Amino acid sequence: MSNQEDDTIVRRDPRAEWIARNRLHPLHTTITHSQTADVRGPSGLMRKNPHNVGFMGPNGIKRIDRLKGNGHQVKGRASKGGGSKEVQLPLHQVTQPDFYIVVVADMVGGRLTGHDKDVIGQAHKLVRETQLNVSDQSGAVLVVGFGESKENHFDLSGADRVLILDTEAYQGYCPEQQIAALERVEQTYQPKYWLFPDSVQGGLK
């Protein structure tokens, strides 16, 4: 066989084929790039190998960088420009309510519990139903709490008005003092409804 015929014979390299199959091999990228380079087709057009896209991650999974190395710039614009900023809607405010619905919250640990928030939601439902019957009136939800308060988001929980009685007279178990305070609230605000949480704390402590 002549040397010219030897040049036309394509010889397989078993080791190179094994490296191409082994994505964790250190020479995998070198072998695959050399085998998957763009070639010119029979029509004269350049053909791109779709498998020659992306890079191999450290865990052996192929990754495609569609941002072409500009991912850090996109993250920087998002943090500066506010693409990921939280949208805050304006809070509903009742400036001059015609009637009140009072919620006596448990406020375990000085914060509104999930059950307290449910009761506040029920109070707003009563406000809407009352406003349907009397369209020219607006109602507000008054949240009354006893003891130390650590809650910072009464407004986000739906409270239009907040009355916290945290003096020494309302610390600990004092049902008589609490009832007397609620009687004064009744005289001052004359609420249409009183709502008490039905919880293990017993509404009034």
What CATH number should be reported for the domain holding residue 179?
3.40.50.620
- Same-domain status, 73 and 131: no
Whether residues 116 and 189 share a domain: the answer is: yes
The residue behind tokens 């009352």 is 130
Q: Which domain holds residue 54?
A: 3-80
**pLDDT at residue 185, as a whole number:** 93
- pLDDT for 87 equals 54
Task: Give residue 8's pLDDT.
Answer: 62
Same domain, 185 and 135: yes
Per-residue confidence (pLDDT) for residue 36, from 0 to 100: 53
Report the alpha-carbon angle 17-23-27, nearest 5.
65
pLDDT (0 to 100) of residue 100: 92
Q: Mean pLDDT per segment of 10 residues, for the chain of length 205 residues?
A: 57 80 76 61 71 64 66 53 55 81 90 89 90 81 90 86 88 86 93 87 55
Together in a domain, 64 and 122 = no
State how far the alpha carbon of 64 is from the alpha carbons of 28, 30, 53, 56, 172, in Å. Answer: 16, 17, 7, 9, 62
Is there a single domain that holds both residue 69 and residue 113?
A: no
- What is the per-residue pLDDT for 188? 92
- Both 185 and 136 in one domain: the answer is yes
Number of domains in the chain: 2
The answer to whether position 169 is within a domain reads: yes
**Cβ 145 vs Cβ 105: under 8 Å:** yes
Q: Residue 87 falls within a domain, yes or no?
A: no
Q: Are residues 182 and 112 in the same domain?
A: yes
pLDDT at position 144 is 92
End-of-domain residue from the set 80, 109, 135: 80
137 located within any domain: yes
Q: Cβ atoms within 10 A of the Cβ of 120, count?
A: 23
Structural domain contains residue 143: yes
**Closest to 147 in 3D by CA, of 117, 186, 119, 112:** 112
Inside any domain, residue 9 = yes
Torsion 78-83-89-90 (CA) sign: positive
Asked whether residue 38 falls in the same domain as residue 103, the answer is no
In a domain, 54, yes or no: yes
Q: Are both 105 and 191 inside the same structural domain?
A: yes
